[in-house]
Amino acid sequence: MNQDYGALEADLLKLLHALREYLTEEEVREVRYFMDANEYGVAFETLCLIIKEEGKPVTASLKAELGQFGRRIDIDPDWALPALAEISDPG
């Protein structure tokens, strides 16, 4: 995977920002911990699991952004997208 890590971090921060009203400080800290270690895949997986396990509401457009980010960093869509499909839409 040949990636621009600055862009990955910026995009993951954008996703965190979009979810800011639904994530606790501890959840954000957990994702940021992996980002600070440049483990963007683990950070993304952690974010997806938090969303799914805690039943965080996510819009359809944000689900699409999460899916695109996952594919970009080679997270298997068969893992990420079914998990995302179970996420509730706040609408």
Containing structural domain, residue 50 = 5-85
> Residue 66: which residues within 8 A CB-CB, separation 6 or more?
15, 44, 47, 48, 51, 58, 80, 84
pLDDT, tens digit, 9 for 90 and up, residues 9-33 = 999 999 999 999 999 999 999 999 9
90 domain-assigned = no
Into how many domains does the chain fold? 1
What tokens appear for 81 in the block? 């997208």
What tokens appear for 88 in the block? 């509730």
13 domain-assigned = yes
Positions of the chain with pLDDT lower than 50, given as ranges = 1
> Residue 91: which residues within 8 A CB-CB, separation 6 or more?
59, 60
